[in-house]
Each structure stands twice: as structure tokens, then as C-alpha cells.
Structure 1
Amino acid sequence: MRTALKENKKDRFKKTGFQKHTVSQCYVLLLPEILGLLLFTLYPMLWAMKKSWFFYTGTKTMQKFVGWDNFIGVFKDTTYWTTWLTTLKFMVYKLPFELPLAMVIALMLNKKIKGSGFFRSVYYLPNVISIAIIGLIFSNMFDYFGFINANLIKLGIIGSEISWLSTTRGAMTVLIIGAVWNTFGVNVMYFLAALSNVPEEMYEAARLDGAGRFTVFFKITLPMMAPVLQTIILLALNGSLHTSDYILVTTNGAPGGTTFTVMSYIVNQFVPGFASNSVNIGYGCAMSLITSVFMCIFAIIYMKLSKRMENVY
């Protein structure tokens, strides 16, 4: 009896030691992620909070405490608020094309058809390509002497070249087309993941009751996808609000800065290496912090509205 108890105690100690070893391994695996978070997220955020109170051009000799002046200057900056309007326009025009298109393709790929795996890979491919490359592709395609104008003239759709990137409407159209092409593939994957959670039995029961395709979609598919759909919309909104490098590569704000979104404006005007001359980096930090606050408020409002939408479904 005593021997059996001793063996049980040894087994317990062995299990405990194994569990401790497993936990320590988990911490080791998490360490690079934690260090990355501290170095590339938390530290820059704290640095920006500190510098936002200073007139700072990049050198300690050109640093002067200015208090609230940078923040007050942001609220008086009409260009900053204009870029917010451009950002909202970009988001409002982009999402109605991006999400419905992704959902339609996901519904088609969710059916058991030959080659669906191949098409899933093809649709996801644009998301793998560097956003800078995508910007270059679309800026060259819609150039005055580019691929689009050349083929539209050959087909007889237009009589002469269109200067797409020289007007605000044309440049915004190019930006939206490129952005939708880049991001709808990943949304297709999200929708497919959501569709895989809908029980097949519910579809079979609906068919037996004589429900049509639209009835099945609005009464079964959409309600079952609602929780995931909320997350997909939030990610799409967040991506649209944070668009910067794509704008900088494709149009760089042209014509006349009218296509700058708020994030691309901050990068273009206040980040060393992008800005054309010596600028007040402290002012850019203040602008970034104010923008972050607005985006957090926007996310909170959306989450509250999405909770109300849960009651609808």
C-alpha cells in the first residue's frame, strides 16, 4: 500500500514538473512577441506622447517645450480635417464594393465545385503582394499612356486618353479599385470560415420547407454569420482608416493633396524621410495621438451599434 502511495506521489511530481516545463516553454515562445510589442508598439507610443509636448525637429538642440500648442494647432489645421473627410469618403466608397463582392464569391466557393481550392488561392493572392507593388501596378495601369487607356481606345469605348490621376474623382476611383482588388480576397477567406460554421442540416430543413435562395440567405446564412460579419466589417473599417502607404505610392496625394487620407497626410508631412523639409515632429506626434483617440471612439461606437444589431438577428 505504502509502495503504491509512493509511486502515485512520484507520478504527481513528474506531472507537475512536466507542466512547469510546458509553461516555461510557453513563456519562452511568447517572449519574441512580447519584446516586439514593447519595442515596436509601446515604446513608439510613449515616445510620441512625450514629443507631442515639444517643438522638435529631430535633434536635441532643436527641442523646445511648447505645452498644448501642438494640440491646439492640430484642431486649427484645416488640411488635417480635410484629410479626415477624404478618409471617410474613401471608406464609404470602398466598403460597399469590397464586402458584398467578397461575400458573393465566398458563397460561390462554398459550394462543392471542382477547382474551388485553386480559386481560393487565386483570390487570396493579391493580399500576399506588397501594397507598394500594388500601388505601382495601378498607378502605371491608369497612367495617361497606360494599359487601361490603350485598351479602352482599342475597344472604341473612349476616343482619346483619359487623365485618370490628374483629377480628384479619377484618382479616387483608381485608389478604390486598387484597394478593393487588394483586400477583397482576405475577406473571402473570412466569409468562407464563417460559412463553414453554418450547419448543413439547417439548409436541408429549409429546402424541405420550400424556402428559396434569398429566404435561406436572409433567414439562415446571414443571421448565423452575424457575429463573424461584425468582426469582418470592423477589420475592413480599420484597414480603410489606416490606409497610408498605398496612397503615398499610388498618388502621393495628387492632385494637389486632395487624395491624402489622414494617415498618409501624417506620414507625408511629418515623418522624416517622407517630408520634403525639416518639420515639427512634435506636431506630427500630437496629430497622431489625436487621430488615435478619434479612431478608438469610432471603434467603440461601431461595437455598440453592432451589439444592437445582434438583437435584430
Structure 2
Amino acid sequence: MSAIRKKWKEYSGPYLMILPCVVLLALFSIYPLAWAFKYMFYDFDGFTEATFIGFDNFVRLFTRDAQFWNSVWNTLVYAGGKLIVTLPLSLILAVILNQKIFARNSLRAIFFMPTIISAAVISLVFYLMFNSYNGIINNTLISLGIIQQPIEWLGVKYSMLTAIIVAIWGAVGNYMVLFLAGLQGIPKDLYESASLDGATKIQQFFKITIPMLGPVMQIIVMLAIVNTLKGYESIMVLTAGGPASKTEVMYLYIYKLFFPVSEGEPVVQQYGYGAAAGFVAAMIVGAITCLYLYLSRKSNNEY
């Protein structure tokens, strides 16, 4: 008994400290996943008794639900447009703000500020700014004589572009900070030696900064891919997936299956079908992430 008491005194502290995290993880992560995995094989609306239907939800998803696959395409367009601008811009800002320039810390805080603001608040502000008739964007462009008629930024033609612009604004500061952390881990001696050898700043960037940032950049890009493919909160507030489902991404479509919006018709939750769609969406995100990791590791091995 004395040995048990001794071990309890030795190990009880750490286990008791992580116990709340384990309980919260089980309640809000593991249990919902198990619940969704069960009901994706059921016809279940949350009110009536669930009916086991086997793989019918998946058959419907792959053969009769064109709207879901349209949302997958929209997700890829949205993610591609966001990442192709956000990551290079974040890296450039990180390199600039890693230098000894005036008000460096203040500029870092300014660029990081959008990250700590709620996505709903950001989207609401941009919704007012991009409003077709009362928005500051159109009013400014008209007053400068750049355009004659208001542009429907949230219309069919430009809604996806607007959503991407908002996403870029909200994400640049986050990845900038991550790149800064990686840059500060690069030894200064490498740059000093390169300068003595006559290397320009551009040559140092491509020959020292990029290679030394390789492992960190791989993680940052992976996180950016996953977060972008899963993101929908900003679009939900900005356009609600419209108009005509032009900006409806995967997880916004799944959200609407669980929490449908009433438009004069009876609201019907589709928990079982939503769980199946969520599982397929998770597999798509996982497949894209694994493909990226495979290609990036293969590229690193070649060098």
C-alpha cells in the first residue's frame, strides 16, 4: 500500500491537471464524432425515430446531390484563390518586418489584429463596405471616377472574389507571425557570410531564407490548406452561400443540412445525411492534405 500511495503522490498531480482537458475532449470531440459516425447510416431528422438505411445516404450523395459537389468545387476555388495570395504575401511581410525598420512591433501588431477579431464581425463590416449601393467601396470608386455604376460585389459575378478578398485580409497576419517565428530561427551568420561573398538580398532570400524555412513552411502550408478547406464562417455571414450557391462551400452546405434556414417552407433537419456529407468532406480534406504532404516530402527528398 505504501508503494501505491507513493506512486499516487508522484503521478496524481500531472494526471489531475490534464483530466479537465481529457473530459472536455471526450465530451466535445470524441462523442460528437462517434455520434456522427453512427447516424450517417440512418435517416434521422432529430425529432422522429432514426431509421437504419445502410449506405443510402452515401448513394444519394454520390449520385443525386449535384449541389454538394458544386460546393466541393466552390471550396477548391475559394481555397486556391485565398492560398495563392495569402501565403506569398504573408512571407513577404514577415521578411520585411523581420528587418530593423521603424515601428516594426507596431506594424506586426496591426497586421496581426484581424486574426483576433471574430470572423462574424469582420464579415459583417466587409458586407457593409461591399454593399452595392451604400457601401464605401462603390462610393469611393465612383467619386474617383473609376466606375460609373455601382458594382454588385456580392452578386453572382463577383461574390466569390469578394469572399476571397475578405479571407485574405483576415488570414495574412496569422501566417505572417508563423513565418516570423521561422525566420527568427535562421542563424544571422549565414546572411553575414553571404554578404561578404557578394550575395544580394534577392539571392540571400532564395538561397538561404527559402531553404532554411523549408520544414516550417511545410507545416504552415499544411495548416493553411486544412483551415481554408474547413472554413465557412466568413462566407456564411458575408453571402450565406449565395447568390445562386455561387459561394456555398462544403462545410457551409453541411451546416445548412443540420441547421436549415427557413424561406417560407417547412424546415427539415437532415442529421443523418449531414453526418454522411460531413464524413465525405473530411475524407476530401484529408486526401488533399495527404497529397500535399506526399508531394512536399518527395520534393524535399529530391533536393
- TM-score (normalised: structure 1): 0.90
What are structure 1's unaligned runs of at least 5 residues? Answer: 1-12
- Give the Cα–Cα distance (whole angstroms) in 2 for the partners of residues 81 and 146 of structure 1: 33
TM-superposition CA deviations, 1:85-135 (whole Å, max 9, x none): 111011111111101111111111101123111111111100000001111
Match for residue 245 of structure 1 among 217, 229, 233: 233
SS in 2 for 1:165: coil
Q: Count residues with an aligned counterpart.
A: 295
The residue that corresponds to 1:72 in the other structure is: 59
Distance of 1:273 and 1:87 partners within structure 2: 20
**Counterpart check, 1:26 vs 2:14:** yes
- How far did residue 245 of structure 1 move? 1.4
Provide the rounded CA distance (Å) in 1 between the counterparts of 2:49 and 2:262.
17
Partners of 2:151 and 2:30 in 1: how far apart?
Answer: 46
Instruction: Find the counterpart in structure 2 of residue 226 from structure 1.
Output: 214
Candidates 278, 282, 288, aligned match of 1:298: 288
Residue identity matched to 1:272: F
Asked if 1:141 is matched to 2:95, the reply is: no
Which range moved further: 136-145 or 222-231?
A: 136-145
Give me the whole-angstrom Cα distance separating, in 2, the residues matched to 1:110 and 1:22: 44
Q: Deviation per CA, 1:258-306: give whole Å up to 9, x if none.
A: 11011111112x1136566113210111111111122222221111111
Q: Within 2, Cα distance between the matches of 1:137 and 1:34?
A: 37
* Structure 2 letter corresponding to 1:67: G
Task: Answer yes or no: is the 8 Å Cα contact 1:244–1:267 preserved in 2.
Answer: no
Structure number with greater Rg is 1
Tell me which of 257, 262, 278 is aligned to 1:288: 278
The separation in 1 between residues aligned to 2:58 and 2:111, in whole angstroms, is 43
Runs of 4+ in structure 1 over 4 Å off: 19-22, 273-276
Alignment of 1:1-313 (within 5 A): 21=9, 23-59=11-47, 61-76=48-63, 77-144=65-132, 145-167=134-156, 169-268=157-256, 270-272=257-259, 274=261, 277-313=267-303
Counterpart amino acid of residue 229 in structure 2:
L
Q: Distance in 1 between matches of 2:299 and 2:261?
A: 42
Question: Percent of aligned pairs with the same residue?
Answer: 36
Aligned CA distance change for structure 1 residues 283 and 208 (closer, same or farther; 3 Å): same
Aligned to 1:6: none
Q: Provide the secondary structure at the position in 2 that maps to 1:166.
A: coil
Q: Could you say what secondary structure the match of 1:95 adopts? A: helix
Report the aligned-residue RMSD: 1.8
CA offset digits 1:146-165 (Å, max 9, x no partner): 11001111111111211111
Residue 148 of structure 1 aligns to which amino acid in structure 2?
Answer: I
What is the Cα deviation at residue 22 of structure 1?
Answer: 6.1
Question: Going by fraction, where is helix more abundant, 1 or 2?
Answer: 1
Aligned-partner Cα distance in 2 for 1:128–1:155: 33
Q: 1:84 to 1:157 in 2, by over 3 A?
A: same
- Calculate the TM-score normalised by the size of structure 2: 0.93
8 Å Cα contact 1:55/1:66 also seen in 2: yes
Partners in 1 of 2:135 and 2:276 — Cα distance? 40
Moved more, 272-281 or 114-123: 272-281
